[in-house]
């Protein structure tokens, strides 16, 4: 019964509020609430996943044009934790100066944000491990940032090909890592992965003593 109640509480997203988009760390919230960052290459399906996770259809702006998230967008969930939606790295039709600005923002956030408790790195399951994904994941390791992986757009692959694609990605990652972090399979179209991700977040909040158990 207790386990069932915990599962229900984890999935109970009662209140979500967009707090703001911030171009620098000095502008971000200072109330000390734990933060879960979502990041990946441009066009990896991040906005669709954020909307799925928070149970809102158009909270995060979805676009076919990469590079729409240009600041750190903060969403306050159940008045107890933040989802931080970061700009995508990699391709975007913006100036070199703008890309460098995003690069600095991402790196400063990951290295110096004290309330960041876990970064979720999104990987397109349809593609081999990309060079910039590998570089970013390895940097998280160097900075000792706790992170997990989320495979996106899995609905585009058959049940037979999905495990093959994921295995290839993980074999490439294991060239640099002795073991892999937690991994999740998601599909915004098929609403896959939401429960597993929310349970994972809730468990971290419980471990921190910050879970909203009302």
pLDDT in tens, 9-59: 778 999 999 999 999 999 999 999 999 999 999 889 999 999 999 998 777
| Residue of 38, 19, 127 whose CA lies nearest to 87 | 38
In-domain check, residue 123: yes
Res 95: pLDDT? 66
| 191-196: average pLDDT | 96
Q: Tell me how many domains the chain contains.
A: 1
**Displacement of CA 189 from its chain's centroid (Å):** 17
Residue 42 placed within a domain: yes
CATH number for the domain that contains residue 47: 3.40.50.300
Residue 213 lies in a domain: no
Task: Supply the pLDDT for residue 64.
Answer: 45
Read off the pLDDT of each residue in 165-176 and give the average, rounded to a whole number.
98
**Under 8 Å CB-to-CB from 30, ≥6 apart: which residues?**
none
Name the least confident of 58-67, 92-101, 138-147. 58-67
Each residue's pLDDT tens digit, 50-91: 999 999 877 765 544 444 567 999 999 999 999 999 998 876
- What pLDDT does 51 receive? 94
Question: Would you say the pTM of this structure is higher than 0.95?
Answer: no
Q: CA 78, 191, 86, 142 torsion: positive or negative?
A: positive
Which residues constitute the domain of residue 73?
2-208
Residue 111 CA to residue 119 CA, distance in Å, equals 11
Does residue 25 lie in a domain region? Answer: yes
> What's the mean per-residue pLDDT of the chain?
90
Of 16-30, 98-112, 158-172, least confident by mean pLDDT is 98-112
């Amino acid at each position: 019964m207790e386990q069932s109640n915990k599962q229900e509480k984890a999935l109970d997203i009662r209140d979500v509020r967009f707090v703001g988009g911030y171009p620098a760390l000095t502008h971000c919230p200072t109330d000390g609430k734990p933060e879960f960052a979502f990041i990946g290459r441009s066009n990896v399906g991040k906005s669709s996943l954020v909307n799925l996770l928070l149970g809102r259809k158009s909270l995060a702006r979805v676009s076919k044009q990469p590079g729409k998230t240009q600041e750190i967008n903060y969403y306050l969930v159940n008045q107890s934790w933040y989802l931080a939606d970061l700009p995508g790295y990699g391709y975007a039709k913006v100036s070199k100066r703008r890309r460098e600005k995003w690069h600095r923002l991402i790196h400063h956030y990951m290295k110096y944000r004290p309330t960041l408790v876990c970064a979720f790195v999104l990987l397109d399951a349809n593609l081999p491990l990309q060079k910039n994904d590998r570089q970013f994941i390895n940097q998280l390791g160097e900075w000792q940032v706790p992170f997990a992986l989320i495979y996106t757009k899995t609905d585009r692959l058959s049940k037979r090909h999905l495990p093959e694609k994921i295995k290839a990605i993980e074999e490439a990652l294991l060239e640099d890592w002795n073991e892999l972090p937690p991994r999740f399979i998601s599909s915004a179209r098929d609403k896959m992965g939401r429960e597993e991700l929310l349970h994972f977040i809730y468990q971290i909040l419980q471990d921190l003593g910050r879970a909203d158990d009302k």
